[in-house]
A and B are shown apart, each in its own frame.
Chain A
Amino acid sequence: MTASLIELNDVTRRYDEGPPALREVSLSVAAGEAVAILGPSGSGKSTMLNLVAGLDRPSTGTVTVDGVRVDKLGEAASARYRRARIGLVFQFFNLLDDLTVADNVMLPAQLAGMGRGTAQRRATELLGRLGVDRHASAYPGRLSGGERQRVAVARALMNRPALLLADEPTGALDTASGEDVMRLLTELHADGQTIVLVTHDLVLAETCATRTVQLRDGRVAADTAMERVR
């Protein structure tokens, strides 16, 4: 049996007075899986992603990723955890517009203390692999949406993370760019990258994921292994 990379046990996340965003969710994701978290707006998808990424803490329950109790981490430890184990891809790319593409990609490695030369070599390799190396010196504002998301993926992979988390990675893209990113994620998974993506795009889920988890009102409504559509 493959060891769990992610382990959520009875996780509840409550904000202020309202109903919990997540209610007693338990979930296990094995290394090498590509899991799509599906559900309508307000179902708790992004909350779950934030908890796994260490961007937020559960009100109750435990979150363990790659053997690390993420729910116990302080701010600094959580930052170190993210840069060592997690790659994050956002719907709106979240590239820093005042840095060049190369500088954006190198940033997580440099924050981890990697020298500029080494980081530059790794970034060039990643940008070449993702087909955006010609834009290395450009600023993100000059790139198309698809290209920006490729850069964002390159940045997420910079520190060779155990887990790639993608939050609506095609949500801000046109159809062609969206398909481009889907292909990219599929290729990454084929290379052994564990991926958890949050989406309400069924096509994306069917294309990239080997398993879907349906959330509704903060609970897991369905957890289905699936045949990937090629």
Chain B
Amino acid sequence: MAARSEARTAMSVLARVVRAGVGRRRVQTIVVGLVVMIAVTSAVLGGSLMVASQGPFDRAFSQQQGAHLTARFDAVAVTEAQLAGSANAAGVAASAGPFPSAELNLTGPKGNPVPPVNVVARADAGGTVDRISIVEGRWVTGPGEIVLATGGRLQLPPDVSGQRWTVTAARGARSVTAAGTGGSASQTADAWTAPAQLTAWTAPDGPRTYQMLYRFTAADTAEQVQAGQTAVAATVPAGALASAVSWLDVRREATGETILLVPFLIAFGVLGVVMAVLIIGNVIAGAVSTATRRIGILKALGFTPAQVVRAYVGQALIPATVGAVLGAVAGNLLTVPILAQTNRIYGTSDSGVELWVDAVVVGGALVMVAVTALAASARAGRLRSVDALAVGRTPRPGRGQWAARLTSRLPISRPLTLGLAHPFARPVRAVSIVAAIAFGAASVTFAVGLGTSLNRVQEVEDIADVQVGMPREFGMGGPPPGPREPEQFDDPAAIEKVIAAQAGTSGYMGVARGEITAVGIAAALDVVAVTGPDSARYYQMVSGTWLTGPGQIVVSTPFLTAAGKQVGDSVVLNDSGVDITVKIVGEVFNTDSDGMQVVTDIATLRAAEPELAPSTYYVTVRSGTDAGAYAKALTTALDPAGAVADPLNHEPDEMIIIINALTGLLSLMLMVVAGLGVLNTVVLETRERVHDLGVHKALGMTPRQTTAMVIASVVVNGLAGGVVGTAVGVLLQRTVITEMASSVGFRLPDSVLDVYSPVELLFFGLAGLVIAVVGALLPAGWAAKTRVAVALRTE
């Protein structure tokens, strides 16, 4: 009975000590709460990104019940009833359609034409197959509206809803409003409209094609999909099936598009989570270790080591819990728009943070706080009371003596030299501040570097400004369009002459595309045959040299890996049955066709295809030239040759928007947290040193001199943290980017790796100093305001 009462009393005393600790040390309580809040926000965001980036295509395909086969039928050769009946073909598990479809020419709101698009008429976005996820706006409600597809050929800027688009080369209403944007993992269309609208556009003959979407009971291999296609084709009149696309081809292409994005986003996610862990550990350990003297007093009063540990774990957990809950709320709110962006890219329909992510992050953060507080307070709890009481007072004499001597000789005022020498007298405390700053500087350096690298990857793909090709006419009569094969130029020399003569031309490259095989590689390979004086500028070299003539190829890393070759080796290609031995002269960064694309001079392939000519020219305009106006003028100039020039869309990519937003957000959060870490430590230190500050002031130190001394005491830490953090950040960026690219089989060019300018590095290094000074401003102000008489009484 007595023992129970004693335990109750002990608990009550413990609770009072915890409450007093939380209430009296308000700054520390607020800092711990804020740090945990920001860390949890960052971890929720990071964790959600990691989840969203796990197999995005497969998840999107599964969420949407994607079509294993997207088939297009000739409307003249088959009836809607026959198509509906094809759903009963062997192996068909579900189907959708028939949906009327047509290839139409669209012009964007700014008057820029886009390549012909496949428009499908669907009454709704749902159904048993290919449930289109609305990314922005809404589905069409009737004629006059269109929903544009994201993730496909149309590179759409944000906020498309409500924009007026124009349908050219079509009858009926020419103007149409974008009701919204939608994502189809199966990429079944470039745009959707209401059936009545498509009928109006294709009148009087009506739509020339129908789309049918099928899911098969087995569709894991190309053979299984082909078997399904054969079974479907058998249910309709011969020749009715105009074209069909397997989901495996769509998957390969989609995965290729996000091949580098996924590891980038995962890296951002990991950054958020890891920084959260490190920062929580640092701040909590710092907070508890600076309370060692108080722990000594508690022990002197009769607290057992276990009670001390419980008191401090409780004291850390109270603000941490509040911070974690608020952080989870903030993380959820911030994640929603970010997920909307990943949905745009991946075609997924993730609506919010997975509950388990919240639970793991909040639980993990609190466990982290508890474990760190436990370890730090257990150490303090084990100290003898007399030692614990001595901790945190004036540092041991003689420590950092060399620094004091060195700084005292500097030709600056004494308060500054006193401050500068201070960290050397308390090395452990100084390391804690340096660590907080270094974490911040490293994170910012890494985040900015990661974002810049990704921007550079995009830039590599966006070198050309204008594309020149032969016009494609899609009249209402004639046969349905087949696979899109660009038409070769009849007189490429004439085209090149016009391009070269056009004002504003900076460089150009002609391209012919085809398919070849290579000895040692089983699958067929895409080949890009280039011509023109400036082809080198359209590719970034990783190693070796650019093409200098026929008989040479440049390839990217996956090709070299698959073929077991290296730069300098020869390889035998086969084009149209003709063997061509070529030398690999260079390794380029090229993610097209998953890196299995061969780039060569057009003359190389003429050994097999003597008539081969470019089908597309890519043109780069001079700096300051408007690509749209240039394209218009070039089209006019090319009119006699029958070619047209289209500006290439350089609107900010969704991916870049995400990365830039994340970079900004994470950098800001991590800098704030680093500043809070400094604030926390300097506040505690200022409190401990209040007596010494009183002495300084009694001897005539003015408030300004006091402020200068406190701020100077973090200058060395700030610079050291900035330098260390920047170096670590750069190292991390290079290592992570290289590993990320390597994980998907690529090596990166120097332009993607070397993203920091000396000025930027200086800025990041000085950012550590800024973090330190900002973190120390508040406590420096307090120190300056401390009344001498009060400070001198503080013992």
Residues of A that sit less than 8 Å from B by CB: 50, 53, 55-56, 75-76, 79-80, 82-84, 88, 90, 94, 96-100, 103, 107-108, 110-113, 116, 139-142, 155, 159
Partner of B414 from A53, A98, A111, A140 at Cβ < 8 Å: A111
CA distance A56 to B786 in the complex (A): 11
Tell me if B698 and A107 are in contact (CB < 8 A): no
Tell me if A116 and B398 are in contact (CB < 8 A): no
Per-residue contact bits, chain B 396-419, to A (CB 8 Å; 1 contact, 0 not): 011110001000110001110000
Residues of chain B from 675 to 708 with CB closer than 8 A to chain A in the complex: 691-692, 695-705
Q: Count of B residues near A, CB < 8 Å?
A: 32
Other A-B contacts than A56-B787, A76-B703, A111-B701, 10 sampled, CB-CB below 8 A, are A50-B789, A55-B788, A55-B792, A75-B785, A79-B702, A82-B700, A96-B696, A100-B404, A108-B700, A116-B408
CA distance A110 to B418 in the complex (A): 11
Question: Which residues of chain A are near B702, meaning CB under 8 Å?
Answer: 75-76, 79-80, 111
- Pull 28 A–B residue pairs with CB atoms less than 8 Å apart, ordered by A: A50-B789, A55-B698, A55-B792, A56-B787, A75-B702, A75-B703, A75-B784, A75-B785, A76-B702, A79-B705, A80-B700, A82-B698, A82-B699, A83-B700, A88-B699, A94-B698, A96-B394, A96-B692, A96-B695, A98-B397, A107-B696, A107-B699, A111-B415, A111-B701, A139-B397, A142-B397, A155-B699, A159-B700
Question: From residue A16, how far is it (CB to closest CB) to chain B in Å?
Answer: 13
Tell me if A141 and B792 are in contact (CB < 8 A): no
Q: Which residue of A lies closest to B697 (CB)?
A: A79
Tell me if A111 and B700 are in contact (CB < 8 A): yes
Question: Which residues of chain A are near B703, meaning CB under 8 Å?
Answer: 75-76, 79
Interface of B, secondary structure class, is: helix
When A and B form their complex, what is the total count of cross-chain residue pairs whose Cβ atoms lie within 8 Å? 83
Q: Which residue of B lies closest to A138 (CB)?
A: B397
| B395 adjacent to chain A (CB < 8 Å) | yes
Question: Which residues of chain B are near A142, meaning CB under 8 Å?
Answer: 397
CA distance A100 to B421 in the complex (A): 13
CA distance A139 to B415 in the complex (A): 19
Question: Which residues of chain A are near B699, meaning CB under 8 Å?
Answer: 82-83, 88, 107-108, 111, 155
Question: Which residues of chain A are near B404, meaning CB under 8 Å?
Answer: 98-100, 103
Question: Which residues of chain B are near A96, meaning CB under 8 Å?
Answer: 394, 692, 695-696
Tell me if B792 and A98 are in contact (CB < 8 A): no
Q: Which residue of B lies closest to A47 (CB)?
A: B789
5 closest A-B pairs (Cβ-Cβ)? Answer: A83-B700, A139-B397, A110-B414, A97-B394, A79-B702
CA distance A204 to B512 in the complex (A): 106
CA distance A23 to B414 in the complex (A): 40
Residues of chain B from 394 to 448 with CB closer than 8 A to chain A in the complex: 394-395, 397-400, 404, 408-409, 413-415, 425
Most chain A beta-carbon contacts within 10 A, residue among B395, B398, B409: B398
Tell me if A116 and B409 are in contact (CB < 8 A): yes
Q: Which residue of A lies closest to B788 (CB)?
A: A55
Partner of A94 from B400, B408, B415, B792 at Cβ < 8 Å: B792
CA distance A80 to B408 in the complex (A): 21
Question: Which residues of chain B are near A116, meaning CB under 8 Å?
Answer: 408-409
Tell me if A90 and B792 are in contact (CB < 8 A): yes
CA distance A98 to B400 in the complex (A): 9
Tell me if B700 and A94 are in contact (CB < 8 A): no
CA distance A50 to B394 in the complex (A): 24
Q: Which residue of B lies closest to A76 (CB)?
A: B702
Q: Which residue of B lies closest to A95 (CB)?
A: B695
Tell me if A139 and B700 are in contact (CB < 8 A): no
Known contacts A75-B703, A96-B692, A103-B408; A141 and B698 CB within 8 A of each other:
no
